[in-house]
Amino acid sequence: MIRSLCLLAVLAVAAPVSAQEVPFAPGSPENRFVPESQAEMRMSFAPVVREAAPAVVNVYTSRTVRQRVGFFSNRTREREQNSLGSGVIVDPSGVIVTNHHVVNGADELRIVLNDRREFEAEILLTDEATDLAVLKVTTDEPLPVLAYDNAGDHEVGDLVLAIGNPFGVGQTVTSGIVSALARTDVGETDFASFIQTDAAINPGNSGGALVNMDGELIGVNTMIFSRSGGSNGIGFAIPVELVSRVVDSALTEGELIRPWLGARLQPVTSDLAMAFGLDRPRGALVNEIYPGAAADDAGFEQGDIVLAVDGHDVNNDSGILFRLATHNTGEDARFTILRD
């Protein structure tokens, strides 16, 4: 069962330090290494946390709901429904990104910073299809921000930290690795291409940060796979490529314009791979092209197999939609296709 990570409660209206300081090694591919000594094993994540944690906030929402009193009565009463999530400050002027499911239907939004300052927030944009929302608070001084990982060079096995407010206990940091990339077969969003991690994330972590060892944002934690509701080491984050696109849309256009390829695709199965002479199942087969759409204008043909978009391998329409969604309006996307 896939569970979103918003922590929900209903209330009545009436009612690890390291033994020594060591230099912080950047996380670029050429500087990655496996610890080989006891001293290396005692290296601390504290420098990363000091850099990243101040930009992760708690998001408190409240909404008024009506509930029927008894089974055979038409009388109703109002109750205040409170929920808790997390968010990430991405602009010093007070712009915060979180999940759509954290703020959906909220009558009131309150942001609490790591240093316990509180702000009322307004919604600039919220989008169910990407499960992202952009909030804004008014502040007289710049707020700490979490920089985007623009390199996008993280790999399976890289160390990551998840920062959020699980179960409302307060800001919490957990560590893990990138377990998988480009997971497109989980969740209910239209633009699915999640980062999977085994860093412990729980209800209340929704909208929180997944950061690399450079203290940069690589994703926004959004859901877990769990039968009990707690962390089983299978969590998912929305990649920063899509996060930054949604934030830019909120600040410049005020809305998110959805990409449309104008073609119907299907994953290449083992049977299709054999029929097309492929060495293995890969890519997405173009079944139909809609006249006048982008795919038609670009010269796509029925029977083409899309192997990659902008150099990133894709295997289904969700992966392709995600790659398109990371582009600004009017930009080109480069497709690698197999024909004949």
Distance CA 41, CA 94 (A): 37
Residue with tokens 């929305």: 238
Alpha carbon 26 to its chain's center: 23
Across the chain, the runs of DSSP E, i.e. the strands, are 2-4, 7-12, 56-68, 76-91, 95-98, 108-112, 118-127, 132-137, 159-164, 172-183, 194-197, 209-211, 217-225, 235-239, 263-267, 284-289, 305-309, 312-313, 335-338
Residue with tokens 């859901």: 223
Q: Is 91 one of the catalytic residues?
A: no
DSSP sequence for 112-171: E-TTS-EEEEEEEEEETTTTEEEEEE--SSPPP---B--S----TT-EEEEEE-GGGS--
Look at residue 107 and give its three-state secondary structure. Answer: coil
Q: Is 312 one of the catalytic residues?
A: no
Instruction: Please give the C-alpha separations between residue 272 and each of 20, 169, 238, 266, in angstroms, as whole numbers.
Output: 57, 51, 30, 10
Q: Is 131 one of the catalytic residues?
A: yes
For residue 214, what is the DSSP state?
A: T
Cβ-based neighbours of 223, under 8 Å, separated by 6 or more: 2, 3, 4, 5, 186, 187, 206, 235, 236
Contact predicate 109/38, CB 8 Å = no
> Could you tell me which of 212, 230, 190 has the C-alpha nearest to residue 45?
212
Residue of 83, 86, 193, 206 marked active site? 206
Residue of 4, 86, 127, 131 marked active site? 131
Residue of 4, 83, 101, 249 marked active site? 101
Distance CA 209, CA 243 (A): 11
Give catalytic residues, as residue numbers: 101, 131, 206
